[in-house]
Amino acid sequence: MEDRTELSSLGEFALIQRLIGTFTNEQDSTIKGVGDDAAVIGSGEMKTVISTDQLIEGIHFDLSYMPLKHLGYKAVAVNLSDILAMNVVPSQIMVSIAASNRFSVEALEELYLGIRTCCEVYKVDMVGGDTSSSTSGLVINITAIGFEKEDKIVYRSGSKEGDLICLSGDLGGAYVGLQLLEREKSVFKENPEIQPELDGHDYVLERQLKPEPRFDVVRQLATIGVKPTSMIDVSDGLSSELFHLGKSASLGATIYEDKVPIDPATMLASEELKMDGLTSALNGGEDYELLFTIDQSDFEKIKDEKDIHIIGHMTDQGFHLVNNVGQQIELKAQGWKAFESS
């Protein structure tokens, strides 16, 4: 018998390393390949910034509580967020859909309506892709593209010790929204007569079902003349993203509990679910906010900016949270694992 290593026995990063670690780049037009939110390629002055993502039914989304229109919108939004995380405004997407015969034409129209709505809101053009059948379920692949001069592009790896850590918006809402939807799904499974109890939770549900890519933040930074030293979007949770920024620069980070922005609606829903709001913010993911570092000399420019919060600073090593009574707690990255056995 040949060796057989189960996919679930390796973590996401170890698996990717094993599969693509032997690839090398030969083209002068490859400026940044694998390893950031997007690749940077091209030979002219304007570089092409490009990212692709595949969403699989039953793995990345659950149609029992995700309406198809929202799914289409979200699929586009999260891909646009990858380009924004390079400090670049995306301008085009390509969309490939595979659907089984379980889906009607009308169902796919709902999906594409969501895709089109997101394109219209953010003035992004859909320039290609395909639609084909699938043997089971729904698969969505979106490629997002933007164009920018090389000196404007921001990578994960550029931070220096002492740089200030900034975050747009607030965290934890998308994860708490997901927990609410999961709770209602299991209640419904046990008793389909019971109406879902989602009243008063509009904010966290919208954070989960209809995340908005932060075009405004990238434009805001350009307006005030701040180029971050590093940037990433919060897809896997604040802790995990802090680790990406720190490790790629061989640094650590310290953040402060009282600076981590959490919306009151997120705290309220967390309490109802008997969850800790801060844990949701640190490990929840899917908020698609922008996490970035700036040089201390940019502090004056950014300190009064709306919806941007300074939550800590880069250190020489270690990842820590200083809690509200001044204790320093070690952070753990608990991002989503693609092949986790459950």
| Residues in region 72-131 near a copy of itself by CB under 8 A | 91-92, 94, 96-99, 101, 103-106, 108-109, 112, 116, 119, 123-131
Would you count residue 262 as binding a copy of itself (CB under 8 A)? no
Residues 145-164 that bind a copy of itself (CB under 8 A): 145, 147
Is residue 165 within a helix (H) or strand (E), and if so which, with residue range? strand 164-168
Q: Which of 44, 192, 225, 326 binds a copy of itself (CB under 8 A)?
A: 44
Q: Which of 15, 63, 66, 187 binds a copy of itself (CB under 8 A)?
A: 15
Question: Among residues 167 and 178, whose Cβ is nearest to a copy of itself?
Answer: 178
CA separation for the pair 47, 270 (Å, rounded) = 43
Between residue 203 and residue 232, which ones bind a copy of itself under the rule CB under 8 A?
A: none
Under the binding rule (CB under 8 A), the answer on residue 48 touching a copy of itself is yes
Is residue 138 helix, strand or coil?
Answer: strand
Residue from 216, 79, 237 nearest 144 by CA? 79
200 binds a copy of itself (CB under 8 A): no
Q: Which of 61, 78, 135, 192 binds a copy of itself (CB under 8 A)?
A: 135
Among 1, 132, 223, 326, binds a copy of itself (CB under 8 A): 132
CA distance 199 to 4: 49
Closest separation in Å from C-beta 229 to a copy of itself: 22
| Residue number with CB closer to a copy of itself (256 or 339) | 339
Amino acid, single-letter form, for residue 95: V
Q: Is 271 in the site for a copy of itself (CB under 8 A)?
A: no
Residue 251 near residue 230 (C-beta atoms within 8 A): no
The single residue among 1, 11, 27, 293 that binds a copy of itself, judged by CB under 8 A, is 27
Contact in structure between 205 and 184 (CB atoms under 8 Å) = no
CB 180 within 8 A of CB 273: yes
Judged by CB under 8 A, how many residues of this single chain contact a copy of itself? 83
Among 11, 68, 136, 254, binds a copy of itself (CB under 8 A): 136
Is residue 322 a contact point for a copy of itself (CB under 8 A)? no
Question: Given strand 46-56, what is the order of strands in its sheet?
Answer: 30-32, 39-41, 46-56, 138-149, 90-99, 125-133
How far CA 172 is from CA of 181, 205, 315, in Å, comes to 14, 11, 25
